[in-house]
Structure 1
Amino acid sequence: MSTASADTAESVLPTITETRITTSGSASDPDIYNDIIAWVDYRNGNNDVYMYNISTKEEIKIPTNGSANCPCIYGDKIVWEDDSHMLPSWDLSDIHMYDLSTKKETQIPARLEEFVAEGQPDIYGDKIVWQDLYDEDWGVSMYDLSTKEETLISHDALCPAIYGNRIVYYVSHPRKGTDSNIYMYDLSTKKETQITTSGSADCPAIYGNRIVYSDDRKGNYDIYMYDLSTKKETQITSSPDNQVSPDIYGNRILWKDDGGEDDGGEYHGIYMCDLSTNQKFKITSRGSKSDPAIYGNTVVYTDDHNGKSDIYMSTISSKGPGSVPPVAAFSAAPTTGKAPLKVKFTDKSTGTPTKWIWDFGDGSKSFHQNPTHKYSKAGVYTVSLTVKNAAGSNTVTKTEYIKVITKPVAAFSASSTSGKVPLKVKFTDTSTGTPTKWKWDFGDGSKSYHQNPTHKYSKAGVYTVSLTVKNAKGSNTVTKSKYITVTAKPVAAFSASPTSGKSPLNVKFTDKSTGTPTKWKWDFGDGTKSFHQNPTHKYSKAGKYTVTLKVTNAAGINTATKSKYITVTGTSQAPTADFWGWPLSGKAPLKVKFTETSKGSPTSWKWDFGDGKYSTEKSPTHTYSAAGTYTVKLIATNEAGSSTKLKWKYIKVAK
């Protein structure tokens, strides 16, 4: 066991500024977290919980049953022991909580036994611990606000304190012959470890890897510290007077000197040891002080030296000869892993910081020196630490420091996706889930294992691209079909079927151009054009036709011409015109449908409806507007000649 030495050089001791918080004369049991002080006050004849905001200087009364004791605060939650259910023969009490953000009070569920005394609560994060008494047996219990589950931590245990996943308490049961020793229970391993063997230790507090407690192994109480990382115990004080009620924050240990005299009167003072400088110094002026608690540079305590009990605050300033601002530094383990990933952050700052602000990059923050944080979602997180003391502040940021992985989902983009040969394409991985390996297939026989490769396509074509991504959780592939279009100047080519025949001749033209054209222009040689890729065209007249195809893409234009490619011959026999109509009679206006029934494959028609109206349709419909009897004539024509059909007084229209 080692003993902490003291630096007595007054020139380097910090400056301490004391501020009175209450004037009621009935306040006690203070606790502090960040800028909030909570305490119990009897000013209205009841034990009520009050809080004071150091930043806004606002005091607020917390709703209670008027029987509160031992308040503790963490974040936006205050817990306390509530004695409103006490009976004459039973010391019954419950644990209550007030949420500053929701302004709601909650009774923490107790064990199922009907008569239980619960007290001495402490809180860290979502976990509340307390001591409870049932059937003359003390024990330590814990309630998890996130799971709403209560757990019995240890039998014969008292005065619990919690930090992270570690709960400390002392175990003592004189009736069972049990000595008083400090124990620690680790929630992550579910193992209990005995810290002391002196048989005389009590009142533990914990911060990070350090446990502090008072122990009278040498005939009076002194303050001791046990480091869980080194498994070494250090004696902090060596005094003829009792040193009790320790608390710890960062490198600072706080306690009450419970004896001695000052200017002829009894003195109970608050002292501090700074482990980073090995300084020990007095926090308070003379008087009767008790219930010390610390957060950062601020110490709170009860002072009843004038017969009235009030809450005071002392602010520690490190400014003075030799004081320097801190320099932020930290490490973490692990820095990569599967989700959910629990990471332990370790402050390695120099210059004796007194406050720590962590930003974990996922929207969460911590004000502890060495926090543990759980990343629930996959991602790459940037972490920053800001450290402060009275001389200044400093921030360090580690970009993309924590990598939390799940099975990846492949995704990518490219720029550009089309262009002239040779085409250089930049591929960008947009996969989620933090892949660690990449495999690209560019569709032209080439591959890459870089995250964001650039690839050159040397030949015209349409290419399908795939990306496979992997990490420790698995792999995933995405494929984009016909994603990259590489163009060269096209070369026009085509075929047709049939290329000869009697009129009317329907010809199917097929584009056989190379170089991936995007536009087509056909000239069929009979004055008709088309802009489709593979059109069908009808030649109505005999003749020899020259066909031209012009193709275009982003790289250029090309034309192919086939001279006298299509041969259309005429028919050998003139047509025989004929027709019929319906109805043949009726009142005006009379609509008549004429149907052409000629033989010999006519290619054109000329109708004379007998009322001065004409049509060149094959089978027209005509309306007679006036009464009368009408003669209808049809002339049918093809390459071999024409024929006329006359139907005398064929249509009769009445008024």
Structure 2
Amino acid sequence: MGINVGNKIIHLALALIFLISFTSIANAGKETMIIGSRLTLGTSIYGNIVTLAETATNSAGMYNLTTGKITGLGHVGTSPSIQGDKITWWDEEKVIVYNISTGKEINIEGANTPAIYGDNLVFVRSKYEDCQPASYQNAQYNSLYLYNLSTHKEVQLTPYKHAHFGSSIYENKIVWTQANRVNSSERSTNISIYDIPTKRVSDIGRSGTAQDGKIYGDIVVWVESQNGSMNIYMRDIAKHETRQVTFDGNSTSPDVYGDRIVWESAYRAGNNPSGDIYMYNILTNETTRITNSTYAREPAIYDDKIVYIDSRSDPEYQEERNIYLYNLSA
């Protein structure tokens, strides 16, 4: 049977034209290392404040982009997140909220994995099967809670029936990953959304492999893992439209702000996990490659600023993970 070489060349050319049209290398903007020589684990950004966690000292901190000053916040179990003038993180079954404006701290015992927006704090309480309190790592069941920092009122949002994790909140809407047990060794994971005023719960991603949901405005983004491939999806909850954002099969750690979605395209360089940061514009349907270091991870975006972890200065052992800032407007 003959091979039509001409048709193959045409198809290849069309594929290349498609990729060039929808993917571009960032040629505008400026990258700066803002925090160096630190073993950092995760970061977030709001306004001119960047938060971080250091594994070397097991502590949380914040970096002021205007003054260049780093302020320590204390012991940490996970990466802190920021919204407005409040930073939250958790450590040893205790959620901590730090108010930048007042310098005051609130502790909520028996809670973990928080997310915050304004005065609304979302977190998880975990239990064993016999309903005794449990650490997050050893929990068989957990429940999602909403705590108002002004009224100090705590409301249970979900029953102790499934595993809930990875919550994100924007205004009056909360999204999280819900894991439903399929059998003794397998779970399916879906993205759920809770509307605070109506108390209505609905599912967004129902593939059974959806996780890591984030929300901003009417846009929810998440990761779906199918047949070993991980791709980013988004849903406009106002328009009831779902769209696949990436197709490379290596996309993780999404974040969203306005009309921009950022994520890490992860792969392996030798024996080391590696990746680069990409950005997708919802309005123009254009994907832009932000980094070219092959060691960039875990992006977060606010306005025209993207922060991420990068181990390019120590690619072999990756014991030195620095925080970089990419300014899209610079």
TM-score, length-normalised on structure 2? 0.82
* Paired amino acid for 1:33: Y
Cα drift, residue 233 of structure 1: 0.7
* Residue 289 (structure 2) aligns with: 282
In 2: Cα distance, 1:165 partner to 1:274 partner: 24
Ranges in structure 2 where 5+ consecutive residues have no aligned partner: 1-17, 129-139
User: Of the two structures, which has the highest relative contact order with CA contacts closer than 8 Å and spacing of 6 or more?
Assistant: 2
Cα drift, residue 9 of structure 1: 7.3
2:250 aligned with 1:242, yes or no? Answer: yes
In 2: Cα distance, 1:101 partner to 1:233 partner: 39
Ranges in structure 1 where 5+ consecutive residues have no aligned partner: 84-92, 111-115, 318-389, 391-655
* Residue 36 (structure 1) aligns with: 49
After superposition, residues 433-582 of structure 1 pair within 5 angstroms as none
In 1: Cα distance, 2:252 partner to 2:50 partner: 21
Q: Which has the larger radius of gyration?
A: 1
In 1: Cα distance, 2:114 partner to 2:178 partner: 16
Gap change, CA 1:161 and 1:266, over 3 Å in 2: closer
After superposition, residues 321-360 of structure 1 pair within 5 angstroms as none
* Residue 577 (structure 1) aligns with: none
2:309 aligned with 1:302, yes or no? Answer: yes
* Residue 547 (structure 1) aligns with: none
CA contact (8 A) 1:267 1:286 kept: no
In 1: Cα distance, 2:283 partner to 2:154 partner: 38
In 2: Cα distance, 1:199 partner to 1:102 partner: 43
2:146 to 139, 142, 147: 142
CA contact (8 A) 1:139 1:158 kept: no
After superposition, residues 582-593 of structure 1 pair within 5 angstroms as none
Which string of whole-angstrom CA distances, capped at 9 and with x for unpartnered residues, describes residues 603-626 of structure 1? xxxxxxxxxxxxxxxxxxxxxxxx
CA contact (8 A) 2:26 2:290 kept: no
CA contact (8 A) 1:160 1:170 kept: yes
In 1: Cα distance, 2:188 partner to 2:165 partner: 13
Q: CA RMSD in A?
A: 2.3
2:246 aligned with 1:229, yes or no? Answer: no
2:50 aligned with 1:50, yes or no? Answer: no
Query: Alignment partner of 2:205: what SS?
Result: coil
Cα drift, residue 153 of structure 1: 1.7
* Residue 96 (structure 1) aligns with: 96
Which string of whole-angstrom CA distances, capped at 9 and with x for unpartnered residues, describes residues 49-100 of structure 1? 11111122222122x2x234220111111100112xxxxxxxxx11001111
* Paired amino acid for 2:39: S
2:325 aligned with 1:313, yes or no? Answer: yes
In 2: Cα distance, 1:309 partner to 1:260 partner: 17
TM-score, length-normalised on structure 1? 0.42
Query: Alignment partner of 1:254: what SS?
Result: strand
* Paired amino acid for 1:32: I
Runs of 4+ in 1 over 4 A off after TM superposition: 9-14, 175-178
Gap change, CA 1:189 and 1:13, over 3 Å in 2: same
In 1: Cα distance, 2:288 partner to 2:24 partner: 12
Which protein is richer in helix relative to its size? Answer: 2
CA contact (8 A) 1:120 1:130 kept: yes
Count of aligned pairs between the two proteins: 292
After superposition, residues 188-227 of structure 1 pair within 5 angstroms as 188-227=197-236
CA contact (8 A) 2:23 2:289 kept: no
Cα drift, residue 291 of structure 1: 2.0
2:119 aligned with 1:126, yes or no? Answer: yes
The percentage of counterpart residues that share the same residue type is 31
CA contact (8 A) 2:80 2:89 kept: yes
In 2: Cα distance, 1:9 partner to 1:221 partner: 19
Cα drift, residue 265 of structure 1: 7.3
Cα drift, residue 150 of structure 1: 1.2
CA contact (8 A) 1:202 1:213 kept: yes
Gap change, CA 1:11 and 1:290, over 3 Å in 2: closer
In 1: Cα distance, 2:272 partner to 2:167 partner: 34
In 1: Cα distance, 2:289 partner to 2:187 partner: 35
